[in-house]
Amino acid sequence: MTTSGFAGTVERHALGWLVAANLVGVWLAAVLLWPALAGITGPWGYGRWMPLHLNWQLYGWCSLPIVGALVAWFVRDDRVGRLHVRVALGAWSLALGLGGVSWLTGVTSGKLFLDWHGWARPLLPLAMLVLWSVLALQFWGRRHEFSSGGKWLRGAALALLLVVPNLLFWAAGREVYPSVNPHSGGATGASLLGSTLGVIVIFGLLPVMLRVRSRDGGAAGRWFWAALALSFAVYARVNHGDASHRAPGQIGALGVLLAWVPLLAVYLGRFEWHPAARPWLRAGMAWWALLVGTGFLTFLPGLSERLKFTNALVSHAHLAMAGLVTSLNLLMLRQLRGGGTRRGFWLWQLGCAVQVAVLMYAGWTEVSSEADWFLRADWTQAIYGVRLAAGLAMLVASITWLKETWA
Ligand code: HEM
């Protein structure tokens, strides 16, 4: 069990951004249902609010729990450590708040998730540097406490982390990586395999960073990393250039991920998670199975063409982030705090499941019923209505969790 004094700070920042981003999400869902509502906020129309929902979810809610895991790995949980964490997370939240002002006022690069532009471009990279300095300071102060392996691993992580703010600043520029890339036909099986394996590396490191004890003396860890190395070997061999999603090699490469449905669940299940964290692990693994299964199916020829750029993509995004990532984030927060209630658990899971299901159905109907969608026929309005209700349920669940952090 890991109990951390700074867990409360991490929770308040992370959940605060989840609530804020969900509020914007509910507003967007209401505007999709009743477009006239958009007029209430004057020039701040749908397109101005959209980056707030996306970036606050990604850089706020989806990032801060893993920042919390990093903090637990590096920072000593004493008065100075807690002050360091408050400064680092304060800088991070200030950057997100100011970012919100910039997107609402139209200062944006127009690049999805890389909207940081003009005066706002250096904000998040600077906040990342503040966090990095805190981690480096703590690492140096505690260097005699760590084993040589622990020192090596943390040193390597610090070196890698220093690349991130620079990369983010560079990638946000309009001159690189255009928002509409004329040379790309979309993600290939190889690129999807590579990026998902990268995510599996992070999932694999969670018990290490949170220092959760293994139930089998580390045996699961050994085969987990060996299987991951094998998967990366497949990734290295597959065609990385222009490749159709009809090519058997691309489909086969993506199929490797199917093996990771049981592998990840068995690996993470071999650790002594806090009882308050375990329901979130089970939910996370259920979402993971659904994500990999449906993600693979929707890559296949026939299905892919029908669903691309429809609400099915929005469904997939919420399945990944609101379902899987949110469940694993709550796992981290509960483990960090060493406790927590189950309040809001089912409200979130059911709200998310309904949102994912109706959006997938919406996407499926879009090619065959364009006119109904364009003219807002009653049944399409009903779908957006159910989606709004599901979003409200998720908003209420997130407010419950935030309120608990002050309890
Ligand atoms: C209160 C719950 C939520 C509601 C009502 C909601 C609503 C929305 C709406 C209306 C859109 C725009 C879709 C469009 O323009 O067609 C959207 C997009 C998106 N949301 Fe949410 N959302 C919620 C929660 C979340 C959460 C928790 C996450 C991540 C952790 C998230 C991540 C995303 C992403 C990544 C997209 C972009 C999808 C795409 O265009 O492919 N949302 N959401």
Residue whose Cα lies nearest atom 14 of ligand 1: it is 314
pLDDT at residue 103, as a whole number: 98
Q: Which residues contact 106 (CB under 8 A, 6 or more apart)?
A: 43, 48
**Alpha-carbon gap, residue 329 to 317, rounded angstroms:** 16
State whether the beta carbon of 316 lies less than 6 angstroms from ligand 1: no
pLDDT at residue 406, as a whole number: 82
Per-residue confidence in pLDDT tens, the chain, 407 aa: 334 489 999 999 999 999 999 999 999 999 999 999 999 999 999 999 999 999 999 999 999 999 999 999 999 999 999 999 999 999 999 999 999 999 999 999 988 899 999 999 999 999 999 999 999 999 999 999 999 999 999 999 999 999 999 999 999 998 887 776 666 667 899 999 999 999 999 999 999 999 999 999 989 999 999 999 999 999 999 998 888 888 999 999 999 999 999 999 999 999 999 999 999 999 999 999 999 999 999 999 999 999 988 999 999 999 999 999 999 999 999 999 998 989 999 999 999 999 999 999 999 999 999 999 999 999 999 999 999 999 999 999 999 999 999 87
State whether the beta carbon of 359 lies less than 6 angstroms from ligand 1: no
Tell me the CATH architecture of domain 1-175. Up-down Bundle (1.20)
State whether the beta carbon of 61 lies less than 6 angstroms from ligand 1: yes
State whether the beta carbon of 393 lies less than 6 angstroms from ligand 1: no
Q: Write out the residue limits of the CATH 1.20.210.10 domain(s) in the chain.
A: 1-175
State whether the beta carbon of 380 lies less than 6 angstroms from ligand 1: no
pLDDT at residue 1, as a whole number: 35
Give me ligand 1 centre to Cα 54, in Å: 7
State whether the beta carbon of 26 lies less than 6 angstroms from ligand 1: yes
Could you tell which of 18, 53, 321 is best to mutate to test the pocket of ligand 1, judged by most ligand atoms within 8 Å of the CB?
A: 53
State whether the beta carbon of 28 lies less than 6 angstroms from ligand 1: yes
Give me ligand 1 centre to Cα 272, in Å: 33
pLDDT at residue 2, as a whole number: 39
Give me ligand 1 centre to Cα 257, in Å: 25
pLDDT at residue 3, as a whole number: 41
Give me ligand 1 centre to Cα 25, in Å: 6
Nearest one of 353, 292, 301, 359 to 323, comparing CA atoms: 353
Q: Which residues contact 43 (CB under 8 A, 6 or more apart)?
A: 106
Could you tell which of 24, 48, 56, 57 is best to mutate to test the pocket of ligand 1, judged by most ligand atoms within 8 Å of the CB?
A: 57
